[in-house]
Amino acid sequence: MTGTPTVVVAGTAEVLAESVAARLVTRLVDVQSAGQVPHVVLTGGSIARRVHTALRESAAVSAVDWRRVELWWGDERFVPTTDPERNERQARKALLDGLPLDPARVHPVAASDGAYGDDVDAAADAYADELAAAARPEDHGDVPTFDVLMLGVGPDGHVASLFPEHPTLHETRSVVAVRHSPKPPPTRVTMTFPTLGRARELWFLAAGAAKAQPVLGALGGAGPLQVPAAGPRGLERTLWLLDREAAAALPDDLPRRGSP
Ligand code: 6PG
């Protein structure tokens, strides 16, 4: 049901990554079979790296027509193009460089040595413009409706680069610059809450014991200003895809599905 998150627990981070990769292939094939070009939003961080690697190594990856997939990033670290910290670079190395993508459908945020130099506000505005240009009349807004949007979860409950108690949590623009991020690097570009809410399927991904408390907070009624992961909801489905450690603090009576 829309708005009610579904929790799915995998035994280990590795099984989680493989199951997310499989779920993504299925989702993309479904959307393409319906004649649509799927819009996918990638995340950064360690779980993203695991998912990207699992996808690259999965035989099913070739079931997707990668030339007909639009790729976006929910947030980006504002560093130079070749900096290994860059989410785009991590995704390219782990997965994208090996896929037959249409370069015109891959939408990275500008780097700090890119078209807008070190002007992070200009980079954020340009990303907002690129999203707006991709929005169709049926999207009724300034961003396309995403088919899948993935979000890692920080130990403090942040998602994308939306950090607890940070002014960006109140933003109504679709994409904004972030300064003084508590997670390095300090300067970032992020989609805001309204944009994260424009996904048909929103998948939170979390593995490891450090995520048990933010997962509990987000699913247990914390406010989004304290635990940003409590904020966004998918338009059709919200999934919490966890490993056993990240799910460890959830109450026993919370419905969940699991792999053995
Ligand atoms: C980033 C991210 C960030 C990340 C979480 C979880 O650029 O840092 O997009 O939101 O997804 O911090 O990261 P881990 O999986 O590494 O804990």
- 164-190 burial code (b ≥16 CB/10 A, e <16): bebebbebeebbbbbeebeeeeebbbb
Return the structure tokens found at 223. Answer: 């406010």
Mutation choice for ligand 1 from 76, 90, 149, 153, CB with most ligand atoms inside 8 A: 153
Q: Check pLDDT > 70 for residue 27.
A: yes
> What are 189's strand-pairing partners?
76, 177
Cut 0.95: pTM above it? yes
Give dist(CA 208, CA 243) in Å, integer: 7
Mutation choice for ligand 1 from 16, 50, 75, 89, CB with most ligand atoms inside 8 A: 75
What confidence tier does 3 reach under pLDDT thresholds 50, 70, 90?
low
Q: Check pLDDT > 50 for residue 230.
A: yes
Q: Check pLDDT > 90 for residue 260.
A: no
Give the helix/strand (H/E) hosting 77: strand 75-77
Mean pLDDT of 198-203: 98
- The predicted pLDDT at position 256 comes to 83
Angle of helix 13-33 relative to helix 46-57, nearest 10 degrees, comes to 60
Mean pLDDT of 113-125: 97
Q: What percent of the chain has pLDDT over 70?
A: 98
Ligand 1 atom with the shortest distance to the CA of 76? 7
Q: Mean pLDDT in the chain?
A: 96
Angle of helix 87-94 relative to helix 46-57, nearest 10 degrees, comes to 20
What's at 55, amino acid-wise?
L
Q: Check pLDDT > 80 for residue 248.
A: yes
Residue nearest to atom 2 of ligand 1 (CA): 44
Q: Check pLDDT > 50 for residue 156.
A: yes
> 200 and 146 in contact (C-beta within 8 Å)?
yes
Ligand 1 atom with the shortest distance to the CA of 188? 7
- The predicted pLDDT at position 252 comes to 86
Ligand 1 atom with the shortest distance to the CA of 211? 17
Give dist(CA 32, CA 36) in Å, integer: 5
- The predicted pLDDT at position 259 comes to 60
Of 2-11, 49-58, 196-205, the poorest mean pLDDT is in 2-11
Give the helix/strand (H/E) hosting 69: none
What confidence tier does 257 reach under pLDDT thresholds 50, 70, 90?
confident
- The predicted pLDDT at position 36 comes to 97
Give dist(CA 84, CA 141) in Å, integer: 34
Q: Which residues line ligand 1 (CB under 6 A)?
A: 43-47, 75, 77, 87, 152-154, 158-160, 183
Give the helix/strand (H/E) hosting 169: none
DSSP per residue, 112-161: TTSTTTT-HHHHHHHHHHHHHHH--GGG-SSSPPEEEEEEE--TTS-BTT
Q: Check pLDDT > 50 for residue 1.
A: no
